[in-house]
Structure 1
Amino acid sequence: MNKVHNYLAGLGGAIALNVLHESLKKKDSDMPRVDLLGEEALQKTLQHFGTRIDDKKNLYTATLAGDIISNTMFYGMIGNGDRDYLFTRAIAYGLAAGVGAVTLPKQLGLDEGPVAQTNKTKALTVGYYLTGALVTAGLLKLLSKSSK
């Protein structure tokens, strides 16, 4: 598939993931807070270089931008390979990202609570990443039809 299409679709998946997260994050206390995990990860990375972001709005914006860029690149890889397995790859990538988001924070020295507080939080976290991957696959399917 076309690399431009891969990244456009990946951007669509990343945006879908973030719209879903931002829309639901304050609905109840069990909702995933991927934003808080990202902010902690960014601050710890910056501290390694002797700096930090003190303004909460700037921290949120930088984290959101990094999240969209990294998820665009990750989801963009779904388009690599045989088109017959596009949705299979999307499911595998989405599950891998979601399970990674739930299981890796503790191993990386981050607070896992925002994404793994309860079984509901864990399931929703995985579901969000799966949704982004499936949106990416759907967009890739549409883009491949439009280029024929």
Structure 2
Amino acid sequence: MTDLNKTILPSLGSGLIGACALTILHETARQFIDEAPRADILGMRAMKKVLKKADAKVPSDDELHDWALGGDLVSNTLYYSLIGLAKPKHALAAGVALGVVAGVGAVGLPGPLGLGTAPSSRTPATVAMTIGWYLIGGLATAAAYRFLKRK
């Protein structure tokens, strides 16, 4: 196996699995739980802000939603792919750390970034779900990494 197959592909594959788990959880829960975090709204606001700064046309809300989901998948895949810096035997600890840090960031950073606080921290339940769901993404990443790195 080449270095690419031994290191980068398992890291990216694991990150993609964690990002997909997180996105599926966010998108499903928002349909049924009033206090669910709205990462999609944060993503849409961020995209809109960037497009306006670039003097680019802002697409319709439906199209912007699709772009935001795509951006979330890409950025969360790359973030969760940092699991590749850990040895497989430390994957669980790394996945927990990645998940908790991402969740805390998702709660604390939108306000200072000018994206609003309500989508990820409007109630204590929303805060708990935000952190918990990023943790679940980290755990899915860790499980996938252990699986993909087995000999």
Deviation (angstroms), 1:85: 1.7
Q: Does 1:34 align with 2:39?
A: yes
Deviation (angstroms), 1:81: 2.6
Q: Does 1:133 align with 2:135?
A: no
Gaps (5+ residues) in structure 2?
1-5
Gaps (5+ residues) in structure 1?
none
Moved more, 67-76 or 21-30: 21-30
Q: Tell me, in whole angstroms, the C-alpha distance in 2 between the residues paired with 1:88 and 1:43.
A: 35
- Determine the structure 1 residue equivalent to 2:53: 48
TM-score, length basis structure 2: 0.92
Q: Tell me, in whole angstroms, the C-alpha distance in 1 between the residues paired with 2:139 and 2:122.
A: 25
Residue deviations 1:21-52, cap 9 Å, x none?
A: 11111223211111011100110111111124
Amino acid at match of 1:125: T
Q: Does 1:101 align with 2:106?
A: yes
TM-score, length basis structure 1: 0.94
Is contact 1:93-1:133 (8 Å) kept?
yes
Moved more, 80-89 or 30-39: 80-89
- Find the partner of 1:86 among 91, 112, 124: 91
Q: Tell me, in whole angstroms, the C-alpha distance in 1 between the residues paired with 2:7 and 2:59.
A: 41
Moved more, 117-126 or 43-52: 43-52
Moved more, 84-93 or 111-120: 84-93
Is contact 2:35-2:125 (8 Å) kept?
yes
Q: Tell me, in whole angstroms, the C-alpha distance in 2 between the residues paired with 1:95 and 1:104.
A: 14
- Determine the structure 2 residue equivalent to 1:59: 64
Moved more, 75-84 or 89-98: 75-84
For the aligned residue pairs, the C-alpha RMSD in angstroms reads 1.1
Give the length in aligned residue pairs.
Answer: 146
- Find the partner of 1:10 among 1, 11, 15: 15
Deviation (angstroms), 1:111: 1.1
Deviation (angstroms), 1:80: 1.1
Q: 4+ residue runs of structure 1 moved beyond 3 angstroms?
A: none
Deviation (angstroms), 1:61: 1.0
Tell me the SS of whatever aligns to 1:111.
coil
